[in-house]
Amino acid sequence: MGRPRSSKTVVGKQFDAAENPIYMLDSRRRIAYCNPACGQWLGVENEEDLVGRRCDYHSLTDDSTNQIDEQAASLCPPLEVFDGRELVAKVDNGTRAYWMRFLPIRDAEAGGYGVLAIPVGTPSDLPKPDQAEYLHDQIRVVRKKLQTDNSVNRIVGQSDAMQLVRRQVVAASASRSNVAIIGPAGSGREAVARAIHYAAADSDKRALMPLSCELLDSELLDSMLNAFTNRTSELQDSASTLLLLNIDSLDPGSHQTLAEFLAAHDHLQAIATSKRPLVGDARQCRNDRRAPSLGSLLAMMTIVVPPLQDRLADIPVLVQSAIERCNAIGEKQIGRIAPDALDRLAAHRWLGEVEELFQIVAQAHENASGTTIQLSDLPEILEVARDAEQHPRHEPVQIDLDAFLAEAETELILRALQESKGNKTQAASLLGINRARLLRRIEQLKIEL
């Protein structure tokens, strides 16, 4: 009689032979096992390359993550599973989605829960995904479509304005025309500019040179442009990109120099960011001390990034995106934000725009003790800002002393004339001045008698 086979061997062989993906994660969210079907699904030649990779809860799909790490991240279940809760959720790697049942397995040795993921087909009685899972999926879809570098991570939003921005990014990248990106500081103008560069099919062959215009005088600008020309001299066929940050802060004496450079190097793509439009009426150009030819050269295409206050509907997806960025760079994992905390963020006046929002969420991510950001995790600066809005500082009343004194003197002269029944000599006597001075003041104050 043959020796009975180990149950571990039987189960392992059945998993290996399965036609659909099956995988296991340990309590540290590292892949402990995945079958050949899982490797094929993820496009990984050897599924063993996935073993040991950490599954972080994020949707980054860019050059900042290794391709295999990116695929590993797509396997991450809702974080509640690691607290021992059995769930069914959709796993989408961008090519095909599977509904998976996530079974928590208690790890007595390491503490916490590991997870076994098995496919369940497409159940018809599944509950709708919660907001965090929905936003997580939406972020992944948008980034998979664009496939740019990590700067596109901030170009998320469901508002009409941000959908237009994403379409314009693709169009600007394909046309390689010069682009002006207009919006308030902190709104993500530089992220949009970099996304245009990296969205190009040949971006790996194109140099990108960012220049902070507020730091450049005419001499330094000449030096930087010459360095850029030398750097790109061998890349004429793959037009490189000159990124002009805060072009509206450029020294007026440098406008003509830059305009002449752009006109002489039309194989380059120039992308400029600004708080104000680069092309306006003649009076605006004079007030801005900006050469009209420079604005015309740069604003062949204009992309407007709206202030966050004008697209409050984008706050939920921006918050989820910020949470997942924090997940991708650290051990700590957060799945969502509590509704009351999200409401508090929506009520804040975002004077620092998207950059401020990401900073606030990063602080809340650090403060959170569980897998959900609670209202108490939000930084105190939000309460300070709200108190300041509810109790605005009273501006001191401005008093025009000359106007006040003229009005008082007029009133006294009219009273004296009324008391003297129009006799100017008597009125002057009542006021303690001579008649000639009274007549001068009546004329100077334009008092109508």
Task: Compute the average pLDDT of residues 181-189.
Answer: 95
Task: Compute the average pLDDT of residues 285-311.
Answer: 79
Which residues face 24 on adjacent strands? 33, 116
Task: Compute the average pLDDT of residues 61-80.
Answer: 77
Copy the structure tokens of residue 188. 């993500």
- The per-residue pLDDT for 1 is 42
pLDDT at residue 359 tops 50: yes
* C-alpha–C-alpha distance, residues 99 and 103, integer Å: 13
pLDDT at residue 69 tops 80: yes
Q: DSSP per residue over 76-103, as a string? A: PPPGGGGGT--EEEEEE-SS-EEEEEEE
Confidence (pTM) = 0.72
Task: Compute the average pLDDT of residues 71-86.
Answer: 90
pLDDT tens profile 261-274: 998 888 889 999 99
pLDDT tens profile 221-279: 999 998 888 877 765 555 689 999 999 999 988 999 999 999 888 888 999 999 999 87
Alpha carbon of 43 to those of 37, 68, 172, 349, 420: distances in Å? Answer: 10, 9, 31, 44, 105
* C-alpha–C-alpha distance, residues 356 and 362, integer Å: 10
Copy the structure tokens of residue 208. 């990108």
Domains of the chain, CATH where assigned: 13-127 (3.30.450.20), 160-305 (3.40.50.300), 401-444 (1.10.10.60)
Pair 153, 325: CB distance under 8 Å: yes
Least confident piece of the model among 167-171, 280-284, 438-442: 280-284
What pLDDT band is residue 134 in, cutting at 50, 70 and 90? Answer: low
pLDDT at residue 284 tops 70: no
pLDDT at residue 164 tops 70: yes
Share the mean pLDDT of the chain.
Answer: 84
pLDDT at residue 205 tops 80: no
Task: Compute the average pLDDT of residues 36-41.
Answer: 93
pLDDT at residue 145 tops 90: no
Which residues face 31 on adjacent strands? 25
- The per-residue pLDDT for 130 is 64
Name, in order, each residue with C-beta under 8 angstroms of 213's C-beta and a sequence gap of 6 or more: 244, 245, 246, 247, 248, 249, 250
Q: Which contacts (CB < 8 Å, 24+ apart) does range 29-36 have?
A: 29/54, 29/55, 29/56, 29/76, 29/82, 29/333, 30/54, 30/55, 31/55, 31/72, 31/75, 32/114, 34/75
Task: Compute the average pLDDT of residues 190-204.
Answer: 84
Task: Compute the average pLDDT of residues 167-185.
Answer: 92
pLDDT at residue 165 tops 90: yes
pLDDT at residue 218 tops 90: no
Task: Compute the average pLDDT of residues 383-398.
Answer: 75
Count Cβ atoms below 10 Å from residue 197 Cβ, excluding itself.
25
List the strands of the sheet with 31-34, edge to edge. 31-34, 23-25, 113-119, 97-106, 87-92
Crossing angle between the packed helical segments 381-390 and 339-347, to the nearest 10 degrees: 50
pLDDT at residue 177 tops 80: yes
- The per-residue pLDDT for 332 is 92
String of b and e for 259-281 (b: at least 16 CB within 10 Å)?
bebbeebeebbbbbbbeeebbee
3-state secondary structure of 142: helix
Crossing angle between the packed helical segments 315-329 and 131-146, to the nearest 10 degrees: 80
Count Cβ atoms below 10 Å from residue 143 Cβ, excluding itself.
21
Task: Compute the average pLDDT of residues 307-329.
Answer: 92
Alpha carbon of 56 to those of 25, 49, 81, 149: distances in Å? Answer: 11, 17, 13, 19
The DSSP call for residue 30 is B
